[in-house]
Each structure stands twice: as structure tokens, then as C-alpha cells.
Amino acid sequence: MKNLKHRGKDKYMNPYVAGVLLGFVIMAAFFFSGEGLGGSGAFKDIVKTTVVSVAPDYAAHSHYFKSATELDHSPLKTWLAFEVLGILIGGILSGAYARRLNLRIEHSPKITSRKRIGFAILGGALFGMGSQLGRGCTSGAGLSGMAVMSVSGFLVVAAIFGTGYLLAWFFRKLWI
Amino acid sequence: MAPVFEQGSEVNLIAALLIGIAFGWILESAGFSSSKKLAGVFYGYDFVVIKVFFTAAVTAAAGLLILNQLGLLYFEDVWMPTTYIVPTIIGGVIMGVGFVTGGFCPGTSVCAAAIGKIDAWAFMGGILLGIFFYSFTYESIWEPIRNSTKLGKVKIGDLIGLSEGMAVFAFLLFALFSFWLVDTIKKKYNIKDVEY
């Protein structure tokens, strides 16, 4: 009985309620800031900031980094970098509220922690490359792109999930 | 009217932080901080990804169109991606492999890292490695592909010949159909939740 007060707090939100709320957050981003939500953009800003400060000569001659060397402020002072910092804070707040804060490696019992970490790094690296080529990730190119009914948004979502389904069988031992 | 705040202004960055906090809170509350739940979409034991993702996109698409019709927001004044067909498809395929091997996407990895998932921190490190690799090989591998097959700022309604309102309505029907489909699949094949 002692947990009665907290009963329900650790349950996940209804997905349709979460979806509608998230839809309003997307609308707020467009209405107040003229921006879509994103994820990968902040990582790009970190890479740009690092390379521009460590190797400014290289950056000035690189097609990828050139624009970042011409800014009058840090490449990290972007809307997306602050938004992603917000995701981190929002995640901590929700996790604290729902009592889900704890250090762990989540993985299927069929694989080792080491294997999970290896595949997580691989998956992250692929997302890093793919998001640069595709001009954004699931959030930025996909979700925000679909919110403004852009062809690009639907195309990237179909490619991401289509590929995932095609390859799911080969990677099933990682998950089930 | 929209955007209310000037691009690059301090107040807009504060808005970004607050909007991000709301985004992160909702993602975490809905279970997007768990790769087990996210990967469920590919194996049929958990379709939270499809339900949250399409509900959010349809809600926003309908809401933005209403704001547009009320004269409060013009699509020329806000972010609108330019469609490049081939790089978007290849980029999406690469990201799809990343999703099924890594179990996160960039936004969800940040939210999972926030509650202490070490695998999410590894995924975030991987993202940085991937972007470093991409940036150092940009001119030799990626640049010509990335700028190819430019279609412009095209909306899906224009492409398939529907008015903006009808296109959003068709998107709503598609979303409702997908919700019915995933629940039917889970029930019909009696797919059990994965516990670990």
C-alpha cells in the first residue's frame, strides 16, 4: 500500500495522447520560431565547433566546414543545439518523475552488453552519416518534414522504416 | 505573424530550449527512451513508434494548415525542406540500417541517455564518429550525391494532385489505417511483449 501515492506515475503515456501533445509542440516550434524539431543537427554543430577550433586552416578549405568558419558566433549557438539540450533536460525531468533514472545497458539477454554497445556505436555512426546525406534524421527530416507535408519528409520516413523492415530478420537476435 | 521570434535572437534560443524540454518530456513519457520499445516496431511486439509518430505528424500538419488558413502562418516564412530525391533515399536507407542495429535515432538517443541508458551514450558517440567520417570524406564521396536530383520545395499534395486540405485528410486516413493494421497484426499473430 505504501506505493499507492505513486501508482501510475511509472506507466508510459498513452501513445495517441503523446502524439497529439507532440503535434502541438511541433506547431509551437513553427509558430514561435519558424523551425521544425530536430535531433541530428546538434551533433553536426558539435562536430563543426570541434573541427573549426582544433583545425581552423583545414576547416577553411573544406567544403563541409567552410560556412562554419565564416560565422560571427560559435557554430553551437544554433536553434537546434539549444532544442537538443532541451530534449536532454526534458528527458531527465520525465525520467525523475516516473522513477526511471538509473544507469544501465539495456539489451536482450541473448546478447552481451559488449555486443549491444558495439551495435549501438555502429547504428549511431550510420545515423550520423545518413542524416548528413539526407539533410536530417527521423525528427528533423521525417517528422518535421511531414508536418509541413513536404515530399522529402515522406520519402525519408519510407526509406528509414522500409529499410528497417527489410533487414529486421537479419538482426532479430539483437532484439528478440 | 509567424514566426513570432526573430531568427538568431536570444529569445528564440530560449524558446528552442523550452520546446526541446517539452519534446524530451513527451518522448521519454511515451517510452522512446527504451531501444527495446523502439525496436518493437520492426518485430511487431510494440508499435508505440508508429502510433506516436503518425499522430504527431497528422496533428501538426492539420494544425499548421489551420494556422495557415487563419492567416497566422505562411509556409514561405517558416522552415520547409527542399526535396532532393536520391540523397534522401540513400540517406534514409543508411539511417534505416542504423535504426535496426542501434535501436535509436538521434533524438531518442538523447532522451534515453538522459535517463541513464549507457547504450544511448554509445549511440550518441557513434553519431559524432559518423559525422566526423562524413565530413572528412565529404568532397570525395558525398558532395556530388548530396546535391543531385533536386526537386525543390515540393509538397506531397502538389505531387499527387490533391489540394492541401485533401492531402492532410488523406494523410489522416493513412495514419488511421496504419493504427488499425498494426493492432490487427499484433492480435492476429498473437505477438507477445518482449520482457528484459
Q: Residue B7: inside a domain, yes or no?
A: no
Contact A157, A146 (CB under 8 A): yes
Q: What pLDDT score was predicted for residue B3? A: 95
Give me the mean pLDDT over the B92-103 stretch: 98
Kindly state the percentage of chain B with pLDDT values over 70: 100
CA distances from A51 to A38, A129, B98, B105 (A): 22, 17, 24, 24
pTM: 0.96
Q: What are the grid coordinates assigned to A46, written together?
A: 558539435
Q: Tell me, yes or no, whether B44 and B95 share the same domain.
A: no
Q: Tell me, yes or no, whether B137 and B122 share the same domain.
A: yes
Q: In whole angstroms, what separates CA B1 from the centre of its chain?
A: 26
Structural domain boundaries, residue B98: 81-154
| B31/A12 CB distance under 8 A | yes
The three-class DSSP label of residue B20 is: helix
Q: Tell me, yes or no, whether B98 and B140 share the same domain.
A: yes
Q: In whole angstroms, what separates CA B173 from the centre of its chain?
A: 19
pLDDT higher than 60, residue A68: yes
Residue B196 banded pLDDT, cuts 50, 70, 90: confident
Q: How many angstroms separate the most distant Cα atoms in chain B?
A: 53
Give me the mean pLDDT over the A93-108 stretch: 96
Q: What are the grid coordinates assigned to A133, written together?
A: 546525406
Q: Residue B2: inside a domain, yes or no?
A: no
Please tell me which residue of chain A has the smallest CA distance to B193.
A176
Give the mean pLDDT of chain A.
94
Q: Tell me, yes or no, whether B71 and B87 share the same domain.
A: no
Q: What are the grid coordinates assigned to A176, written together?
A: 528478440
pLDDT higher than 60, residue B95: yes
Q: What pLDDT score was predicted for residue A1? A: 43
Q: Tell me, yes or no, whether B171 and B120 share the same domain.
A: no
Q: What pLDDT score was predicted for residue A2? A: 44
Q: What pLDDT score was predicted for residue A6? A: 55
Q: Tell me, yes or no, whether B88 and B150 share the same domain.
A: yes
Please tell me which residue of chain A has the smallest CA distance to B36.
A175
pLDDT in tens, B120-177: 999 999 999 999 999 999 999 999 999 999 999 999 999 999 999 999 999 999 999 9
Q: Tell me, yes or no, whether B85 and B147 share the same domain.
A: yes
Q: What pLDDT score was predicted for residue A5? A: 53
Please tell me which residue of chain B has the smallest CA distance to A165.
B42
Q: Residue B111: inside a domain, yes or no?
A: yes
Q: Tell me, yes or no, whether B94 and B149 share the same domain.
A: yes
Q: Residue B1: inside a domain, yes or no?
A: no
| Partner A contacted by B113 (CB < 8 A) | yes
| Amino acid present at B60 | A
Residue linked to cell 511486439: B45
CA distances from A145 to B31, B104, B121, B156 (A): 23, 19, 26, 10
Q: Tell me, yes or no, whether B55 and B148 share the same domain.
A: no
Strands of B10-159, DSSP E: 83-84, 150-152
| A23/B145 CB distance under 8 A | no
Q: What pLDDT score was predicted for residue A10? A: 83
Q: What is the CA radius of gyration of chain A?
A: 19
Q: What pLDDT score was predicted for residue A9? A: 79
Partner A, chain B 174-193, Cβ-Cβ below 8 Å: none
Measure A1 CA to nearest chain B CA, in Å.
24
Residue B109 banded pLDDT, cuts 50, 70, 90: very high
pLDDT in tens, A104-159: 999 999 999 999 999 999 999 999 999 999 999 999 999 999 999 999 999 999 99
Residue B78 banded pLDDT, cuts 50, 70, 90: very high
Q: Residue B99: inside a domain, yes or no?
A: yes
pLDDT in tens, B37-76: 999 999 999 999 999 999 999 999 999 999 999 999 999 9
Kindly state the percentage of chain A with pLDDT values over 70: 96
